[in-house]
Chain A
Amino acid sequence: MSETEKIVLNVQQEMKRGTLVLAVLTQTDEAQYGYSLIQALTEMGMPIEQNTLYPLMRRLEKQGLLDSIWQVEENRPRRYYKISELGRDVRAVLIEEWQTLEATMSGLIGGVK
């Protein structure tokens, strides 16, 4: 891996990390379990490692942005996550933030030759 690739990869990861919470909040209007959410995000062009997403979902649940419920399916338990009221409020603000950021970044990038 060249030096450029390394740096790009690193920054890329940082960028992605910042968007993950919002990404998860957009895909949990329907209850999702961990693996189904990975698939949903991957289909939308945002592949994510299991070891990144699962702890994140748990964290969001602890913060009260997601509600969770254990359900027994096919004789084994599965934890389903769904966006909470608080989650919706936070999401609305985050979307606005994102749009502002998007406009700002477009402006900045537009100035680069």
Chain B
Amino acid sequence: MINDYLYTIGKYISPAQRDEVLREIESNLYDYLEQNFGQKKYSESEIETAIRSMGHPKKVAEAYMEGPRCLIGPAYIDTYWLVLKIALIGIAIGLTIANIITLPESKDGIQLLIKIIASIWQASLSAVGTVTLIFALIQHYSPGEQEKITGAWSFKVIENAPEAHQKINFLEIILESIFICFFLVAINQATPALVIALRKTK
């Protein structure tokens, strides 16, 4: 139980600090147990009491990290979605108009539709990438803010700590790599399209 709790906290703590912070939290938990229940083998419910007294794993981690760890935090996420929506709608409208204007009259409707969809798709990918990158940078360089976790929380948030040798999840790594490649390709491919699109929309 204590291991699972520490593992869950550790997920929210940067690797550089993780071991030391967890060691300290563990030591504090045992201090609490010792002070309240004496020196013995502790029951599940006693350990639960100690964990409750310490708090929600995410909250504990955030207290140590001074702020949540995410690419785009709660302070900016609404603005992010708004900007993204505006950018995408702008691209869709702009490219549709641009394609209709520039397409020679001889081509048929289906071809026109495919061309519009393809160019919107390309430009959208690059827009999403760029906007995300900008917001991630803003988040990274802005002072941390605290996400509020208040009131009762359930023990369900505590995840099972995997055995040491299982900790590297290969599927996760492979998926991550694929997405990173996809993202890079998208940015590379789509940037010229966006530049053209912007010129066209002007």
The B-contacting residues of A in range 87-111, CB under 8 angstroms, are: none
Q: Is the CB of B35 within 8 A of A35?
A: yes
Q: Is the CB of B28 within 8 A of A35?
A: yes
- Jot down 26 A-B pairs with beta carbons below 8 A, ordered by A: A33-B31, A34-B24, A34-B27, A35-B28, A35-B31, A35-B35, A36-B31, A39-B35, A49-B55, A50-B28, A50-B54, A51-B59, A51-B60, A52-B63, A54-B24, A54-B25, A54-B63, A55-B66, A58-B64, A59-B66, A76-B27, A76-B30, A77-B23, A77-B27, A78-B31, A79-B27
In the assembled complex, the CB of B1 is this many whole angstroms from the nearest CB of chain A, namely: 17
Give bound CA distance, A55 to B27, whole Å.
Answer: 13
Identify the A interface with B (CB < 8 A). Answer: 33-36, 39, 49-52, 54-55, 58-59, 74, 76-79
Residue B53, interface by CB 8 Å: yes
Residue B102, interface by CB 8 Å: no
Give bound CA distance, A90 to B30, whole Å.
Answer: 32
Interface pairs A-B: 8 shortest CB-CB:
A35-B31, A55-B63, A51-B55, A55-B64, A34-B28, A51-B63, A78-B27, A51-B60
Give bound CA distance, A68 to B158, whole Å.
Answer: 30
In the assembled complex, the CB of A73 is this many whole angstroms from the nearest CB of chain B, namely: 10
The interface centre, meaning the residue of B28, B32, B60 with most chain A CB atoms within 10 A of its CB, is B28
Chain B minimum-CB-distance residue to A39: B35
In the assembled complex, the CB of B35 is this many whole angstroms from the nearest CB of chain A, namely: 6
